[in-house]
Amino acid sequence: MKEIITVVKEQFEHIGMIFRMSRYEDKADYQSHYLGLAWQILSPAIQIGIYYLVFGVGLRQSREVGDVPFIVWLLIGITVWFYMSSSILGASNSIYKQISLVSKMKFPVSVLPTTNIVGNLSSYFPMVAIVIITVLFFGISPSLYWLQYIYYFICMISFLFAFGLLNATITILIRDYHIFLQSIIRLLFYISGTIVNIENSGLPDLAVKILRLNPIYYIIDGFRDTFLSREWFFEKATYSLIFWGIILILLILGSHLHMKFRSKFVDYI
């Protein structure tokens, strides 16, 4: 528990530096592009259009999911997915990518995964705005359920931080892990409810219950519950407790490994 407190404390003590570094990385990544930071919106928007044409128009013939237009259902899930997948992969490689900085000065290494997570928010929030506009366009009115967006946003950031810290540390210790993680992310895209409605997929009930234990599924489904006014988070208390239990386990493992090996990161590379 002491290791968790130390790592979390570092995030709050260096919050200003985290935001400054995230802005710098955004500008550095797109400075040679004519459209610059606009690609943070254009790239996911193009991919969403492709997925809608393939899975919505092509395979589903634009059928609704329940009583919700497929494009609305898809847009909510895939916006969250794009942010989470890019943050998971970016955070896992964040320490290795900045190892020259770590080796030259005393630096709170634990903030590097967080810097990547915060940096990706610059593309996530505009996509959320597009989600809201789309939801309203299709006649879905705001409700009190929308207030729980705050809860699921905290869930998402908590998961990304805990998982990112663990992944970033393992990537330093085992370089092949990052490649392995990329393959896992591709698999999770199809089993996390991003483009496939798992509950109506025809899978056995046991398989559906197991897939619902996936933290990414919990978050994506939660945002759909929010914007589509379907269910409060406390109505699925069991899955909520399991989700936070997984977060705690990831945070314990990530903090322990990080504090144990971070003084030797340069040696491992």
Burial of 156: CB neighbours in 10 Å, binned 0-12, 13-18, 19+ = buried
Mean per-residue pLDDT of the chain? 82
Q: What is the CA radius of gyration of the chain?
A: 19
pLDDT of amino acid 135: 87
pLDDT in tens, 75-105: 899 889 989 999 999 888 888 877 766 666 6
Taking the C-alpha atoms of residue 218 and residue 224, their distance in angstroms, rounded to an integer, is 10
- Residue 216 in this model has a pLDDT that exceeds 90: yes
Taking the C-alpha atoms of residue 233 and residue 218, their distance in angstroms, rounded to an integer, is 10
pLDDT in tens, 29-51: 555 555 555 666 666 667 666 66
- Residue 28 in this model has a pLDDT that exceeds 50: yes
Burial of 108: CB neighbours in 10 Å, binned 0-12, 13-18, 19+ = middle
Whole-number percent of the chain with pLDDT over 70: 79
Q: Three-state DSSP class for 200?
A: helix
Residue 266, C-beta contacts closer than 8 angstroms, at least 6 positions apart: 99, 102, 103
Burial of 261: CB neighbours in 10 Å, binned 0-12, 13-18, 19+ = middle
Instruction: Indicate left, alpha or beta for 196 from its phi (over 0: left) and psi (-120 to 50: alpha).
Output: beta
Q: Which residue has the higher pLDDT, 263 or 149?
A: 149
Residue 15, C-beta contacts closer than 8 angstroms, at least 6 positions apart: none
Taking the C-alpha atoms of residue 11 and residue 66, their distance in angstroms, rounded to an integer, is 41
Regarding pTM above 0.75, the answer is: yes
DSSP letter at 25 equals H
Tell whether the torsion through CA atoms of 259, 178, 87 and 198 is positive or negative. negative
- Residue 67 in this model has a pLDDT that exceeds 90: no
pLDDT in tens, 124-134: 888 888 888 88
pLDDT of amino acid 105: 63
DSSP letter at 35 equals S
- Residue 78 contacts residue 51 (beta carbons within 8 Å): yes
pLDDT in tens, 151-160: 999 999 999 9
- Residue 266 contacts residue 15 (beta carbons within 8 Å): no
Q: Which residue has the higher pLDDT, 267 or 262?
A: 262
Taking the C-alpha atoms of residue 19 and residue 25, their distance in angstroms, rounded to an integer, is 10
Taking the C-alpha atoms of residue 235 and residue 28, their distance in angstroms, rounded to an integer, is 44
Instruction: Indicate left, alpha or beta for 229 from its phi (over 0: left) and psi (-120 to 50: alpha).
Output: left
CB atoms within 10 A of CB 188: 17
**Single-letter code of the amino acid located at 238:** T
pLDDT of amino acid 61: 46
Q: Among residues 160, 189, 165, 188, which one has the least CA distance to residue 93?
A: 165
Among 19-23, 59-63, 123-127, 247-251, the minimum mean pLDDT is found in 59-63
